[in-house]
């Protein structure tokens, strides 16, 4: 009898090992550690970095993971920061921003058993332990350009980019095409600040654009963009935010924000590590069709705007300014923007990706 029990025990133990060896390798949420290295501008940019950070906060709250972050003072420190997390055995190491792509690839090659994620740069020959999170910024920015042209009373709008680089050309190209789709004769001013963290420079550029006739300016400039909002308030004109909902930064003057759902992409990547479904070697793209990019609500107050009031960031009067601005300025164009969005998703409007094909010689 004892031998039979022993034999059955061995058989069941063998079956158990085979079944679980074949199952995907999951990581206990309580054990999962994620390290993120933020891009230039760091936390508080009310944009790209803050969105990535929100994704980890959500993962911490809903999945029970632990995360740490590093804000390099200079891109030259990116590799050291990424390596610090890899050396300490973090389950997932995330690098944010196109400027970090080379550093992340170098570190990922040195630590093939560590999982990595990179935000905002597709890799031609992506490593098996890296997943790249990319976004169709040109599609979302097309909506921003269309809205700017619909709202403009001067037939003159502006775009402020952070650094004159292929990634930021995606935003510029989408905005330019969207504005021209609505009004082929509209003037689109374009300037680059050569910095993602210089609000004073953003303000200076925006004031110059307003002086030259623009009445709506869209930025893709990280922290530099807060200077654009300051200029909009000073001149009592309008701006469009980017990446996150920035409508509360200058209530009544930021008419909408082009959303780039870095938060969702980061959360989903962490979730894949926790549940064992992470698959490296992929360049992923998030588009209008899957709500990876989009634009804030043009008719009703968004959750983030109400949250800004509840958190004491804006007053009740300022929240009312946002509501009134939507009612008077953007709500009348909501149906048109929804129509354009559907046409892009269905392929009836083809938006060029200037980050891929390059900027036209003459604009």
Chain mean pLDDT for the chain: 91
- How far is it, in rounded angstroms, from Cα 192 to Cα 155? 21
pLDDT-derived band at 362 (thresholds 50, 70, 90) equals confident
Give the DSSP per-residue string, 172-199: HHHHHHHHHHH-TT-EEEEEE-S-SS-H
Asked if the domains 33-135 and 137-259+292-357 are classified in one and the same CATH topology, the answer is yes
Burial of 121 (0-12, 13-18, 19+ CB in 10 A): buried
Percent share of the chain, pLDDT over 70: 92
What is the pLDDT confidence band of residue 28, given thresholds at 50, 70 and 90?
A: low
Per residue in 171-214, pLDDT (tens digit) is 999 999 999 999 999 999 999 999 988 999 999 999 999 999 99
Say how far apart CA 201 and CA 199 lie, in whole Å: 5
Query: How far, in Å, are 60, 171, 174, 209, 210 from residue 177 at the CA level?
Result: 39, 10, 5, 19, 21
Alpha-carbon span 195 to 192, nearest angstrom: 8
Which residues does 210 contact at the CB level (< 8 Å), separation at least 6?
158, 217, 231, 232, 235, 237
- Distance from C-alpha of 102 to C-alpha of 121, rounded to nearest angstrom: 10
Q: Report the pLDDT value the prediction gives residue 329, as an integer from 0 to 100.
A: 97
- Residue carrying the six token digits 């980061």: 266
Which helix (H) or strand (E) segment holds residue 73: the answer is: none
Q: Which fold has domain 33-135?
A: Rossmann fold (3.40.50)
Please name the fold of domain 137-259+292-357.
Rossmann fold (3.40.50)
Supply the pLDDT for residue 363.
79
Exposed/middle/buried for residue 167 (C-beta within 10 Å: 0-12, 13-18, 19+): buried
Contact 278, 32 (CB under 8 A): no
- Whether 9 shows a pLDDT value over 60: the answer reads no
C-beta of residue 82 within 8 angstroms of C-beta of residue 114? no
User: To which residue do tokens 């869209």 refer?
Assistant: 218
pLDDT in tens, 209-247: 999 999 999 999 988 999 999 999 999 999 999 998 999
**2-6, 99-103, 276-280: the lowest-pLDDT one:** 2-6
pLDDT cut 90: percent of the chain above it: 83
Length of the chain (residues): 363
- For residue 4, pLDDT beyond 50: no
Domain boundaries, the chain: 33-135, 137-259+292-357
Give me the sheet containing 66-70, strands edge to edge: 66-70, 33-37, 92-96, 115-119, 130-135, 282-286
Retrieve residue 126's tokens: 């992506």
Half-sphere exposure of 311 (CA within 13 A, CB side): 8
**29: confidence class by pLDDT, cuts 50, 70, 90:** low
Specify the 3-state DSSP secondary structure of 280. coil
pLDDT in tens, 78-111: 999 999 999 999 999 999 988 899 999 999 999 9
Region 138-155: mean pLDDT is 98
Q: What is the DSSP letter of 92?
A: E
> In the structure, what pLDDT confidence band is assigned to residue 44 with cuts at 50, 70 and 90?
confident
The pLDDT, as a whole number, for residue 27 is 56
Query: What's residue 99's pLDDT?
Result: 87
Q: What is the pLDDT of residues 342-355, one digit of tens each?
A: 999 999 999 999 99
Q: Kindly indicate the confidence band of residue 30, based on its pLDDT and cuts at 50, 70 and 90.
A: low
Going through 29-165 in order, the beta strands assigned E by DSSP cover 33-37, 66-70, 92-96, 115-119, 130-135, 156-161
């Amino acid at each position: 009898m004892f031998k039979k029990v022993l034999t059955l025990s061995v058989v069941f133990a063998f079956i158990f090992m085979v079944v679980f060896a074949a199952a995907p390798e999951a990581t206990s949420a309580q054990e999962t550690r994620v390290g993120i290295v933020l891009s230039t501008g760091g936390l508080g940019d009310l944009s790209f970095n803050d969105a990535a950070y929100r994704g980890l906060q959500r993962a911490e709250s809903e999945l029970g993971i632990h995360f740490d972050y590093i804000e390099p003072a200079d891109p030259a420190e990116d590799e050291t920061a990424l390596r610090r997390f890899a050396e300490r055995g973090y389950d997932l190491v995330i690098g944010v921003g196109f400027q970090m792509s080379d550093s992340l690839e170098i570190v990922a090659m040195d630590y093939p058993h560590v999982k990595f994620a990179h935000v905002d740069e597709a890799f031609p020959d992506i490593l098996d332990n890296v997943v790249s999170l990319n976004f169709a910024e040109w599609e979302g920015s097309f909506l921003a350009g269309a809205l700017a042209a619909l709202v403009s009373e001067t037939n003159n709008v502006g775009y402020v980019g952070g650094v004159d680089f292929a990634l930021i050309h995606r935003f510029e190209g989408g905005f330019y095409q969207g504005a021209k789709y609505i009004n082929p004769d509209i003037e689109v001013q374009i300037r680059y600040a050569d910095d993602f963290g210089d609000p004073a420079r953003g303000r200076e550029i925006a004031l110059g654009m307003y002086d030259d006739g623009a009445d709506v300016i869209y930025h893709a400039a990280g922290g530099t963009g807060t200077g654009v909002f300051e200029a909009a308030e000073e001149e009592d004109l309008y701006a469009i935010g980017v990446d996150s909902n920035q409508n509360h930064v200058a209530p009544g003057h930021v008419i909408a924000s082009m959303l780039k759902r870095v938060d969702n992409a980061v959360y989903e990547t962490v979730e894949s590590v926790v549940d064992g479904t992470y698959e490296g070697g992929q360049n992923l793209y998030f588009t209008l069709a899957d709500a990876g990019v989009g634009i804030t609500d043009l008719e009703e107050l968004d959750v983030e705007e109400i949250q800004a009031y509840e958190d004491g960031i804006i007053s009740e009067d300022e929240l009312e300014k946002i509501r009134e601005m939507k009612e008077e300025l953007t709500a009348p164009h909501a149906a048109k923007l929804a129509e354009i969005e559907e046409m892009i998703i269905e392929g009836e409007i083809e938006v060029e990706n200037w980050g891929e094909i390059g900027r036209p010689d003459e604009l």
